[in-house]
Structure 1
C-alpha cells in the first residue's frame, strides 16, 4: 500500500503524463506556439535560477569530503551509463526511427535527477546528505558537459552544436544558475520558505517544455512514424537499461564495499536520469519536430524510474542488515 501511495501521490508523474496526453489531444500551434515558446524560455530560466539559489556552497564543500562515493556516482553517470546508451543507440538505429534511436544517446549524456533521487534516498534511509550533494554537483556539471558529450558523440547523426546554440544554452541554463549563486544570500531564505511555490515552478516549466516539444512532434505525425513493433523495441530497450542501471549500481556499491546507506545513495543518484535538464536541452539543440522524438526515450525512462524507485525505496527502508 505504501508503494502505491507513493506512486499515486507523486505529482510529477501525473504532470508529465498529462503533458504528453495534452500534446497528443491538443497540440500547441499557430500564434499560441509563439506564446508557449516565450513561456518556455522564461520557465527554464526560472528553473535554473532556483537551482543556483538552492545549491548552498557550504553543502557542496561538506559533501565533497566523501570523494570515493561522489567519484563513483560521477563515473557511473557520465561513464558507464554513457557507454550503455551509446551501444543501445547504435543497436537500435536499424530498428527505430533515427531520432528515437538517437534519443538513447541523448538520454545517456544526461545527469541524474535532484528532487526524486534525494526523496527516494530519504525514504530508503540512505545517506541523504551525500545524495543532495551528488545530484546537485552532477546537475551543475551536466549543464556544461551533457551538450558537449552529445555533440561529440552525435556528429554522425548530423547533430552540431553551433555558436548560436552555445549562446542560447549559456543564456537560458548557465546565466540564471550563476545569478542564483551570486544572489543566494539574499534570495535563498525566501525560496526555502516557499518550497511549494518554487517546486511547482520547477515542475510546471519542465512539463511545459515536454508539452511544446511533443506538440511539434505530434503535428509532424510522431505516432504514425513509430509503429507498434518499434514501440515494442523501445520498451524492451528501456526495460533492459532500467535493469542495468538499478541492478548495476546496487551490485557496484557492494563490490566497492560501501556501507548500506551509501549503496542506497549510489542506487538512486546513479540510476536515475533528469528530464529537468533533458527537456530544455533538447528544445534548444533540436527543432521542435525532432525534439519530441529525441526525448521520447527520456520521458518513458523518467516515468518508469519513478514507478520503479517507489517499491525499491520502500523495500530498502525495511532493510535491517548491518554493515
Structure 2
C-alpha cells in the first residue's frame, strides 16, 4: 500500500517542488524577470495551441449526446466548487491572500489528461470523459475570468480589459488556431505526445518559477507560516472529500450507469493546474500570483493521490464482473 501511495508522486510533482525551492533561493531579478516572463508567455501560447490541435471533434460529437452527465459535471465544476470556495473564504480560517487563492482554485475548469486517464483506469466511459473534460476547459477560458470578476471583488482583485485582451490573445486565439489546423497537424501531434507533455509541464514550471520568484521578492515566506500551510492543506482535503462524495452520490441519485458515474466522479472533482497557472499569471499582479497558486498546487497533488487510489479500487471491483 505504501509503495502504491508513493508511486502517485510522479517526477513532475518533485520537479514542481524543486522549482518552488529554486525560486525561493534564486528568484529572477531585474532584467531577468522580463526574460523569464517572455519565455513563459511563449510557452503558454504553444501549450494552448497544441491543446487545440489535440481536441477531437469526433470524440466531442460522440460524447455530447449524454447531456445529463455533462450538465452534472458542469454544475460540480462551476457551481458546487465555487460555493465551497466562498464558504471557505467566509469561514475566515485562512489569511485573506490564501483565501483568495482557495477561491480562485474553485473557479478553475476540470483537468483533461488526468480525468481521462483515471476514467480509463477505472473502466469508465472514456468518450464521455473526453467530451466533459474538453468542454470544461474550453468554456473555462471564458467562464473562469468572468467568475473571478464576479466573486473576487471583495479581495480587491478585478479583471481589467487588458487582462481579458491577454486571455483572448494568449489563450483563446492559440487554442482556436490549433483546433482549426487539426486536420493538418492533428496526426503529427498525436504521434508526438511526449512533445505535448514537455510543453505542458515546461510551461507550468516556467510560470511557477516566475510567479514564485516575484512572490519571494515580495516576501511570501515572511508572510506564510507552517500553520498557514497546514490550514491550506486541510481546507483542500475537506473540499476534495466533499466533492468526491457529492459527485458519487449525485451519480447514484441520477441512476447513471457505472461507466458514466465514474466520469462524473473524476471529471467533476478535479481542477486544472495547466489552465490555472497561466490564468493566474494573466489575471493577478505578479507579486500576488505566488500566493494565489499555492492552494492550487497543493490541491493538484491531493486530487492525484485520491483519484489514483479510487480508480484502482474501482478497477478491482469491476474485474469480477468482467
Q: What TM-score comes out, normalization by structure 1 length?
A: 0.94
1:284 match: 282
For 1:181 and 1:106, locate their aligned partners in 2 and report how far apart those are by CA, in whole Å: 27
The Cα of 1:276 is off from its aligned counterpart by 0.9
The Cα of 1:6 is off from its aligned counterpart by 4.2
For 2:141 and 2:49, locate their aligned partners in 1 and report how far apart those are by CA, in whole Å: 13
1:3 match: 4
Q: CA offsets per residue over residues 274-304 of structure 1, 9 Å max, x none?
A: 0111111111111111011111111110111
- Alignment of 1:13 with 2:13, yes or no, is yes
The Cα of 1:133 is off from its aligned counterpart by 1.1
Alignment: residue pair count: 320
2:182 match: 184
1:88 match: 88
Q: Runs of 5+ in structure 1 lacking a partner?
A: none
1:207 match: 205
2:40 match: 40
2:104 match: 106
Q: Which moved more, 1:191-200 or 1:19-28?
A: 19-28
For 2:131 and 2:14, locate their aligned partners in 1 and report how far apart those are by CA, in whole Å: 27
2:309 match: 311
| Match runs of 1:126-137 below 5 Å | 126-137=124-135
Distance 1:127 1:5, change over 3 A: farther
1:252 match: 250
1:60 match: 60
For 1:42 and 1:131, locate their aligned partners in 2 and report how far apart those are by CA, in whole Å: 29
The answer as to whether partners of 2:5 and 2:305 remain within 8 angstroms in 1 is: no
1:152 match: 150
Q: CA offsets per residue over residues 252-288 of structure 1, 9 Å max, x none?
A: 2111111111111111101110011111111111111
**CA-based RMSD:** 1.7
The answer as to whether partners of 2:148 and 2:158 remain within 8 angstroms in 1 is: no
1:70 match: 70
For 1:195 and 1:178, locate their aligned partners in 2 and report how far apart those are by CA, in whole Å: 19
The answer as to whether partners of 2:105 and 2:295 remain within 8 angstroms in 1 is: yes
1:232 match: 230
For 1:167 and 1:65, locate their aligned partners in 2 and report how far apart those are by CA, in whole Å: 33
Please state whether the residue corresponding to 1:271 is helix, strand or coil: coil
The answer as to whether partners of 1:161 and 1:285 remain within 8 angstroms in 2 is: yes
The Cα of 1:232 is off from its aligned counterpart by 2.8
Moved over 6 A (4+): none
The answer as to whether partners of 1:97 and 1:226 remain within 8 angstroms in 2 is: no
The answer as to whether partners of 1:23 and 1:215 remain within 8 angstroms in 2 is: yes
Q: Runs of 5+ in structure 2 lacking a partner?
A: none
The answer as to whether partners of 2:20 and 2:208 remain within 8 angstroms in 1 is: yes
For 2:19 and 2:304, locate their aligned partners in 1 and report how far apart those are by CA, in whole Å: 16
For 1:112 and 1:74, locate their aligned partners in 2 and report how far apart those are by CA, in whole Å: 9
For 1:221 and 1:48, locate their aligned partners in 2 and report how far apart those are by CA, in whole Å: 31
For 2:252 and 2:12, locate their aligned partners in 1 and report how far apart those are by CA, in whole Å: 31
The answer as to whether partners of 1:89 and 1:103 remain within 8 angstroms in 2 is: no
The Cα of 1:223 is off from its aligned counterpart by 1.7
